[in-house]
Amino acid sequence: MDLRFTPEELAFREEVRGFIRDNLPREIRERMRLGHPARKQDIVAWQRILNARGWAAYSWPQEWGGPGWTAVQKMIFLEENLAAPAPEVSSFNITMLGPVLIQFGTEEQKRRYLPRAANLDDWWCQGFSEPGSGSDLASLKTRAVKEGGHYVVNGQKIWTSTAHNADWCFLLVRTDPKAPKQQQGISFLLVDLRTPGVEVRPIISIDGSHHLNEVFFTDVRVPVENLVGEENRGWSVAKYLLGNERTGIARLGKSKERTRFALEKAREVNMNGKPLIEDRGFRTRVAQIEVDMKALEITQARVVSAYDKSQDGRPDPLSSVLKIKGTELLQGTSELLMDVGGPQAMPVWQQELAALTNEPALLPEWAVQATPAYLMLRAASIYGGTNEIQKNILNKAVLGL
């Protein structure tokens, strides 16, 4: 038993860190440090820089343009990228669509979509959830009826992250409403969002941002060659996508980076006339977070190390532990930073807009930004399978309840 990285892994970490340091545009890094969400152009720019290095499709096999990394290397890459802090590569393109096409797609689909997904030439979004189908995804109702060479799609998706930025959507539709089980009769389609009949409407979330959308499909004609896998077998495609190896699900690098940033800011703000960093209660709170991060780091290493050794490549049910604890830490560290900001974290103030008219900084930008980040991260325990669903998974897969 050994917790240490091998010299090769340590060298790899240095290589990744060095590359990010030398190639991440300074302006992007600075905005992210201040807590701004990455803008579309930042995400695209950074993913293309990574792709030129052969790293954007970090989890794909080499045959399809991936670097062929071990699970440990992927973990190191993701952590360094988050800790930089740099924009995350598009999870829709890289961890969802890519592996699905590689597993289920036709040669033609792979050739057509994979290189563009890696380079973020196409921005993909995920059309899974519906107003009536959240955690109970298999109950989805969006219909697709085959008419000649097309599926005609009618229905509505919701909570569709970044659909307003997206070019394409991978969509779960019901192709056989008479199937005996609701998991049967579902198909997985690739939909060009410029197709007539697609309408994207924004949902403004509690952080004030436009991240989520509703997507309406009215007689949208999708060519039959955009079916992935077999018709009516889309549920196994979706299950594969959702259960895919989730090395990065804990997003520990982000929690670590936000904690470091909070400590830095805790030197600048006061508590009872002394720097907050000297306050005992604050220090104990940080110590507890550090304990939880350390435990998660080792649990994650156990999962990743087991993944590298397992032959079947099936997801470890312990991934659910990573999701639960990882999101609790993301939420906990965002709360910490907001609390460091204190009253200055409460105003709605866009310094970037003010700067356009040469207005001087009115408030510390990091503090103002800490609150929307905190608000947005309340979603972390909801998306990707709510933490309650993760507990159900543990019960079924491990505990036998």
Partner 1 sequence: MDFDLTQDQRLMVESVGRLLADTYAFEQRKALLKTEQGWSPALWAQYAELGLLGLPIAEEHGGFGGGAVEVMLLMQEFGRHLVLEPYLATVVLGAGAIRLAGSPAQQGEILPAIAAGTTRLGFAHYERQARYDMTDVMTTATGAPGGGGFVLEGAKSVVLHGASADALVVSARTAGSRHEAAGLSLFLVDANAPGVTRRGYRLRDGTEAAEIALAAVKVPGHALVGEKDNALPVIERVVQAGIAATAGEVVGAMEAMQAMTLDYLKTRQQFGRPIGDNQALQHRAAEMMVALEQGRSMAMLASMMVDEPDAADRARNISMAKVGVGQSGRFVSQNAVQLHGGIGMTEEYAVGHFFRRVMVIEHMFGDTAYHLDRLADGVA
Q: What is the DSSP letter of 327?
A: H
Place of tokens 């040669």: 107
Q: Which of 286, 368, 377 is nearest to 331 (CA)?
A: 377
245 counts as catalytic: yes
Q: Is 354 exposed, middle or buried (0-12, 13-18, 19+ CB in 10 A)?
A: middle
Residue 210 bridge partners (DSSP): 204
- Stretch of 113-121, 149-157, 288-296, 331-339 contacting partner 1, by CB under 8 A: 288-296
- Stretch of 145-153, 167-175, 268-276, 316-324 contacting partner 1, by CB under 8 A: 316-324
Indicate the residue among 6 and 41 with the shorter CB distance to partner 1: 6
Q: Taking CB under 8 A as the rule, does residue 5 contact partner 1? A: yes
Q: 24 in the Ramachandran plot: left (φ > 0), alpha (ψ -120 to 50) or beta?
A: beta
Indicate the residue among 200 and 318 with the shorter CB distance to partner 1: 318
- Stretch of 119-127, 276-284, 339-347, 359-367 contacting partner 1, by CB under 8 A: 276-284
Q: Taking CB under 8 A as the rule, does residue 318 contact partner 1? A: yes
Q: Applying CB under 8 A, which of residues 348, 353, 356, 399 lies at the interface with partner 1?
A: 399
Q: How far is the CB of 265 from partner 1 (least distance, A)?
A: 14
Contact flags string 65-104 toward partner 1, x per CB under 8 A: -------x--------------------------------
- Stretch of 24-32, 114-122, 185-193, 275-283 contacting partner 1, by CB under 8 A: 275-283
Q: Which of 92, 217, 212, 90 is nearest to 159 (CA)?
A: 212
SS3 of residue 146 by DSSP: strand
Work out the number of other CB atoms within 10 angstroms of the CB of residue 194: 8
Indicate the residue among 326 and 372 with the shorter CB distance to partner 1: 326
Q: State the Cα–Cα distance between residues 277 and 283, nearest whole angstrom.
A: 7
Q: Taking CB under 8 A as the rule, does residue 298 contact partner 1? A: yes
Q: Taking CB under 8 A as the rule, does residue 302 contact partner 1? A: yes
Q: State the Cα–Cα distance between residues 18 and 16, nearest whole angstrom.
A: 5
Q: Which helix (H) or strand (E) holds 281?
A: helix 280-309
Q: State the Cα–Cα distance between residues 247 and 207, nearest whole angstrom.
A: 28
- Stretch of 26-34, 44-52, 58-66, 304-312 contacting partner 1, by CB under 8 A: 304-312
Q: Taking CB under 8 A as the rule, does residue 274 contact partner 1? A: no
Q: Taking CB under 8 A as the rule, does residue 356 contact partner 1? A: no
Please check whether residue 266 is in contact with residue 275, taking contact to mean a CB–CB distance below 8 angstroms: yes
Q: How far is the CB of 207 from partner 1 (least distance, A)?
A: 28
Q: Taking CB under 8 A as the rule, does residue 203 contact partner 1? A: no
Indicate the residue among 56 and 329 with the shorter CB distance to partner 1: 329
Catalytic residue among 88, 245, 257, 335: 245
Q: Taking CB under 8 A as the rule, does residue 388 contact partner 1? A: yes
Indicate the residue among 287 and 362 with the shorter CB distance to partner 1: 287
Q: Taking CB under 8 A as the rule, does residue 241 contact partner 1? A: no
Q: How far is the CB of 133 from partner 1 (least distance, A)?
A: 20
Q: State the Cα–Cα distance between residues 113 and 120, nearest whole angstrom.
A: 10
Q: Retrieve residue 372's tokens.
A: 């929307």
Q: Which helix (H) or strand (E) holds 120?
A: none
Q: Applying CB under 8 A, which of residues 43, 325, 377, 380 lies at the interface with partner 1?
A: 325
Q: Taking CB under 8 A as the rule, does residue 299 contact partner 1? A: yes
Work out the number of other CB atoms within 10 angstroms of the CB of residue 109: 18
Please check whether residue 175 is in contact with residue 185, taking contact to mean a CB–CB distance below 8 angstroms: yes
Q: Which of 215, 222, 136, 135 is nearest to 175 (CA)?
A: 222
CB-based contacts of 231, cutoff 8 Å, min separation 6: 146, 175, 187
Q: How far is the CB of 10 from partner 1 (least distance, A)?
A: 11
- Stretch of 109-117, 169-177, 211-219, 393-401 contacting partner 1, by CB under 8 A: 393-401
Q: Is 326 exposed, middle or buried (0-12, 13-18, 19+ CB in 10 A)?
A: buried
Q: Applying CB under 8 A, which of residues 4, 26, 178, 194 lies at the interface with partner 1?
A: 4
Q: Taking CB under 8 A as the rule, does residue 264 contact partner 1? A: no
Q: State the Cα–Cα distance between residues 333 and 377, nearest whole angstrom.
A: 10
Active-site residue list: 245
Q: Interface residues with partner 1 (CB under 8 A)?
A: 1-6, 9, 72, 263, 277, 280, 283-284, 286-288, 290-292, 294-296, 298-299, 301-302, 304-306, 309, 318, 321, 324-325, 388, 390-392, 394-395, 398-401
